[in-house]
Every structure is written in structure tokens, then in C-alpha cells.
Structure 1
Amino acid sequence: MLATLGKMAVSLILLLTALWGALALWYQLSGGTAAQAIGALLWGALGVASVVLWWTRGDVRVLLPYAAGFILLLLWWSLITPKQQRVWADDVARNVTGTVTGNLVTLDNVRNFDWRSDDDYTVKWEQRSYDLDELRTVDTALSYWTGPYIAHTLISFGFADGRFLTFSIEIRKEKGESFSAIGGFFKHFEMSLIAADERDILRVRTNARGEDMHLYRVMMPKAAMRSLFLAYLDEAQALKAKPQFYNTLTANCTTIVFEMVRRIVPGLPFDYRLMASGYLDRYLFDVKGLVPGQSFQQLREGGHVTARARAANDDADFSHAIRRGMPGYDEAGFPKLQMPRQ
């Protein structure tokens, strides 16, 4: 009985490696769709046939060709590296970079597109400067595009002069590509770090792509806000020096932000809601990271900005318009609660 159970367990592992290999070939094999399909089917067939032969003949040596092929597959996989130069989609064609001089941060490649629809827009990249002593707020935006379980996480910094700058870790699509959660497990996308005006990066999601957005004021001391802002610049510098692959599970828009924040606020617990990013707001509430004195439902309803964003589509003061009456902001959209320096 134990021997049979062990054999069943090994067979399951072999079939899972066959599935992994088939998907790896589908997403990474060169030569076009036909070559990818043929490669994936042949590899899957080899895995299944090897398991069937093992059970029918009872000789473990029938697995040797599959084992040798899997070693070669892993070697090929290890040689696939991310690239800086591809024909990128316009909205991720540039990664943000920055320099810091004292309190002054100068950013290159800040995106400020004017979106009329998801495929009709005016391209505009800018250089902008920000005084870190003037940092006043940090907000988390969760943009829902595929049901309640998964949301895209964006972090927005507000300054005393009324400007907001949003950072977003995204897949770096090539022209004609679209997001694939499965492809994100198989080195299908490089990673991009976008810094953008809110009227670009929030408005495109609510108004052009039809996503549903919730915005939350995150209660962080000014020193922590500053550290988080600089952590994004460190991430930008790392991507400039060496490109990285996006990974749906381990290196995505939420997990990378969590790792940056945990370096600033040690002891933050790891939680399944960092994977199911649609529930990140509940996690932030549980660790007391949101505006105090209100229930989670009040914060969620008060930060539901989709309708406000659509109504403010042509408003030059988009950022304050979507924050009017939001928890942590007054009726004009300006912050009510001032954070201590430490």
C-alpha cells in the first residue's frame, strides 16, 4: 500500500512537471504560435507517456528519457533572461529614474498621458522635481479589473503644493501584448516601474478601462513616507541597472511594495491577502494602517472613487476632486490629519 501511494505521489509530481514544461514552452519557445503549440504538446505527451509506461511495465528506467529531457529543459529555462530593449507599448516605454540632492528629488520619465480611450491618447513624458520635506500624504489605490479577489495596487504621494505623484509596478508589455496571469509565472513579461500624474494613471483605469477603484489614506509618519518614496527610487535604479521579470506570485504590484514597506516598518506580518490583492485594504485595516476612528466599511465606502473619477474626467484638479469627503480628507479634498515626523 505504501509503495503504491509513493508511486502515485511521484506520478503526480511528474505530471505536474510535464504541465509546467508545456506552459514554459508555450510562453517562451521561439518560432511563433505553431512552434509553441507543437513543443508544448510534444512535451506534455512525453510526460504522460512516461508515467503510463512506468505503470504498465513496472520498470522505473522508462522514466530516464523524460528525466534527461527535464534537465535540458531546466538548463534552457535558466538561460532566459530579461531584456531592456524591446518594442514596448507606449505606456510602459520608459521606466522612471531619479536623482536626489538633499531634500530635492528630480525625476525623469514621469508619465502624464492624456487618455481619451485605452487606445487613443497623447504621449507625454516629463521631468519633475519634488521637495521631500513637503511630503504630506500617502494613499493606496486598489483598482479592480477581474472580480473581487485581484486588484492592481498603486501608491500615491501627496505634497504640500497640492501635487500628487503615483508609483505603479506593472508588466512591461510589448506592443500588441496584453496581460496574462499565467504568463506572469513563465517569464513572459519584464517589470516596469511607472511614476505618473494621477490624472493619467488613476483616470485611465477608471475612465478609459472601466475598472473599479478604492482609494485609502495610509497613516505613516513623515519619516516613513520619505523612506518609502526613496525606496521606489532605489527600485527604479535597480531596474535601470538590471531588468527583472514580473512574476504573478512573487514579484508583482503588491508583493514588491510590501517588501519595501517591511524594510521601513519591521515586523509587518505576511498574509494571504498580499497574494489575493483585492483584500489588501482589509489587511491594511487590520494592521492599523488606515485612518483611525472609522469602521472598515466606512473607509471602503468613503474611498470608493470610481464615480467621482468619472465625473472629474475633465477637471484639471482631478486629484482633489476624487478625494472630496474621503476619510482623511476634507470637503475640498485636502488632508485633514497631519502626520508626525517620526
Structure 2
Amino acid sequence: MAQAIVWIALFTLLTLGMLWGLAALWFRLELPSPWRQVTLGLWGLLILGLVVLGVEESVTVRRDWSAPIGQLLLMTVLMTWWFRLRPSHDRPWADDVVHLATGEVEGNRLTLHHVRNFDWRTRDDATVCWERRHYDLDRLDSVDMIVSSWGRPGIAHVMVSFGFGGDDFVVFSVEVRRQRGERFSEIGGFFRQYELSIVASDERDAVRLRSNVRGEQVRLFRIAMPRQTMRSLLLAYVDEANHLYATPRFYNTITANCSTLVFAMARRIGAGLPLDYRMLVTDRLPEYAFSMGGLWQGYSLSELETQGNIVERARQAHDDPTFSRRIRRGVPGWEALL
């Protein structure tokens, strides 16, 4: 009886592993046609054949271990390939992620290289502009969380904007590093389909792309944070960006995305943030921040979400040089400053 339980458990586990392997091959196997299709078809046939063999073995009194052994050997080959996959900076990247943010600090002056300042016409067409920008850390006085959603339940993109005197803002965004012509797939993000990128950009780029061009719902929340913590978080972003520039890394839909990396950086600078499922259900991240006392005080969550909806203001301020000020009008925490 014990042997039968072990056999069934092992066979089931290896069958699930081979199905996972089929998805991994689908998203990551880089072979030219028709070899890619042949490999996928062969793997599918092997899954089917070993399952049939396993079902036949399971009804016999004296079980043969041929099916689990065959699965184990194939999974060993697959995992050898899987763990040999390496992230790279050397690919034909899409224009908006061709550069990664990097920076250095000299005294109280932060220099960021490759700050994106595109003028977007459509989601795939923009006037390309990358700039080197300088920021006075003594003027750092605000942090905002920008949450953009596009109708998929539980999914949103989270960015963090740092403000300097209410006039100058830089947005950090953790994104997939897509190749030219490649579209984002949440499922593909589980299978090392993309590298990870940290992009620094002007708000007129990062916000307008989502609110004015893509038609997403964009909300802005001012974060209640001491100035020293603001500085620590900003420098944590710069350190993480520099490390990523030196050592490429795969994006992962769960473990390395726009919210979990921010969470890891916040914990590194001493924020006592507990693990919570809302770190993964990213459109509920404002609810998590509110429950931790991180959003602007004196308002309910519904008031913060309603007054923080900046879509209409962003559309009206489309080409205005004071775009960042205009989108903040009426946002809790910004009333006395704008």
C-alpha cells in the first residue's frame, strides 16, 4: 500500500512537471521553425505516451516504474536546459526600454543617466528622447505612488514618483524589458520570457503614456513619509538600478515585478512592512498602503482613490509645461502646495 501511494504521488508530480515543461518550452525555446514546432510536438507526445503507460502500470498488481523513471529522465534534461538560461543585456530592445536607469551621488547632487522623456503619439510611436538629469537631494520633499490599471482584475502597474520642491519630478518604474515588436504576457512572466528593467522617466512621459495614450485608469497617492526616509528610498532605487545594470535579471510575474521589488527596497531601508497577498494583487496595493498608514492622513481610502484619479486632469494638461502640478490639483496632500 505504501509503495502504491509513493508511486502515484511521484507519477502525478512528474506529470504536472512535464506539463509545466511544455509551457516553459512554449515561452522560452529559441529554435527556428520548424524545429521549435517539432520539439514542442515531440514533448507533447512524450507526455501523452508516458501518461498512458503510467495508467496501464497503475492497474497492475505489481507496478513497473518505467513511466516515472522515463518522466524523471526527461525532467532532468529539461531542468538542465532551464537552469542554463541566462538573462542578458544584449538583445534588440524596444525603444522605450533600450536604456536602463543608472545614477550616482556626489554630495547632495544626484545624477541620473538615461531619464526617458518621450513624447508619445500612440502606444507604439513616440519621439525618442533620453536625457541626463541632475537633482538636488536637499530639495527632495515628496513621494507619490502612481497606480495604473487597464481592466484586468487584480492587475495594475505601480510606479513611484519623487518630487523636488513641487517643480521637478522623476518617476521610477520597474518593467519588463521587451524586445522590439514583443508584447507583454503575464503568463510569459512566469517562464523567464523577459528581462527586468528599471526605467527613470519624466512624469509627462510615464503618466501621459498611460492616461492619455493607452486610456488606462491612473490614480496618484501622496505617501506620508519623513524626508530622510524619502531620501533612503530614492537612493535604494538608484542602487537597485545600478546593480541591475551590472547584473541582468529575469522579470517574474510574482517574485520580481513592479510591487515586490519596491517592497524589498522598502524593507531594506528599515520599513517594517509585513508580507501581504495585496503585494501580488497589485490593484489593491493602495488598500495595503492605507492599512499600513502610508497614505496621506485624514481621508478615507475611497476619498483618496476618487480624488487621486488624475486621468481627466492629465488629458487637459497634455502639453502643459506645468503638467505635474496640474495633475496634482485636488489630490490629498497637495492642496496647500499647488
Provide TM-score, normalisation by structure 2: 0.94
The amino acid that maps onto 2:30 is S
The amino acid that maps onto 1:307 is E
Listed one character per residue, the Cα deviations across residues 304-339 of structure 1 (whole Å, up to 9, x for unaligned) are: 1112112211222111111101110117x63xxxxx
2:131 to 99, 119, 126: 126
Listed one character per residue, the Cα deviations across residues 140-173 of structure 1 (whole Å, up to 9, x for unaligned) are: 0111024241000100001115111000010011
Distance 2:271 2:230 in 1: 15
Q: Tell me the residue number matched to 2:250.
A: 245
Q: Tell me the residue number matched to 2:323.
A: 318
Distance 1:61 1:11 in 2: 10
Q: Tell me the residue number matched to 1:53.
A: 53
Distance 1:238 1:163 in 2: 25
Distance 1:296 1:140 in 2: 14
Provide TM-score, normalisation by structure 1: 0.93
C-alpha displacement at 1:137, in angstroms? 0.6
Q: Tell me the residue number matched to 1:224.
A: 229
Give the alignment of 1:1-342 within 5 angstroms: 7-32=7-32, 34-57=34-57, 58-160=63-165, 162-330=167-335, 334=338
The amino acid that maps onto 1:208 is V
Listed one character per residue, the Cα deviations across residues 31-83 of structure 1 (whole Å, up to 9, x for unaligned) are: 23643333233223322322321221231123222211111111111111011
Listed one character per residue, the Cα deviations across residues 100-133 of structure 1 (whole Å, up to 9, x for unaligned) are: 1011001110000111221221100001000111
Distance 2:188 2:194 in 1: 7
Aligned 8 A contact 1:22 1:39 in 2? no
Listed one character per residue, the Cα deviations across residues 284-318 of structure 1 (whole Å, up to 9, x for unaligned) are: 00000001111111111010111211221122211
The amino acid that maps onto 1:52 is V
Which range moves more in the overlay, 142-151 or 44-53? 44-53
Instruction: State the secondary structure of the residue aligned to 2:184.
Output: coil
Q: How many correspondences in the alignment? A: 333
C-alpha displacement at 1:194, in angstroms? 0.4
Distance 1:161 1:215 in 2: 15
Q: Which runs of 5 or more residues in structure 2 are unaligned?
A: 58-62
Instruction: State the secondary structure of the residue aligned to 1:202.
Output: helix
C-alpha displacement at 1:262, in angstroms? 1.2
Q: Tell me the residue number matched to 2:60.
A: none
Distance 1:279 1:311 in 2: 27
The amino acid that maps onto 1:83 is S
Aligned 8 A contact 2:109 2:136 in 1? yes
Listed one character per residue, the Cα deviations across residues 239-285 of structure 1 (whole Å, up to 9, x for unaligned) are: 11111110111000110000001112342110000011010000000
Which range moves more in the overlay, 61-70 or 203-212? 61-70
The amino acid that maps onto 2:97 is V
C-alpha displacement at 1:221, in angstroms? 0.6
Specify whether residues 223 and 116 from structure 1 end up closer, same or farther in structure 2 by C-alpha distance, changes over 3 A only. same
Q: Which runs of 5 or more residues in structure 1 are unaligned?
A: 335-342
Distance 1:214 1:267 in 2: 25
Which range moves more in the overlay, 5-14 or 101-110? 5-14
Distance 2:100 2:116 in 1: 9
Aligned 8 A contact 2:176 2:195 in 1? yes
Instruction: State the secondary structure of the residue aligned to 1:32.
Output: coil
Distance 2:256 2:326 in 1: 33
Aligned 8 A contact 1:29 1:35 in 2? no
Which range moves more in the overlay, 118-127 or 150-159? 118-127
Distance 1:215 1:37 in 2: 45
Distance 1:148 1:215 in 2: 19
Distance 2:176 2:20 in 1: 21
Aligned 8 A contact 1:27 1:36 in 2? no
Specify whether residues 223 and 144 from structure 1 end up closer, same or farther in structure 2 by C-alpha distance, changes over 3 A only. same
The amino acid that maps onto 1:197 is D
Distance 1:193 1:70 in 2: 34
Which range moves more in the overlay, 64-73 or 194-203? 64-73
Q: Percent identity?
A: 47
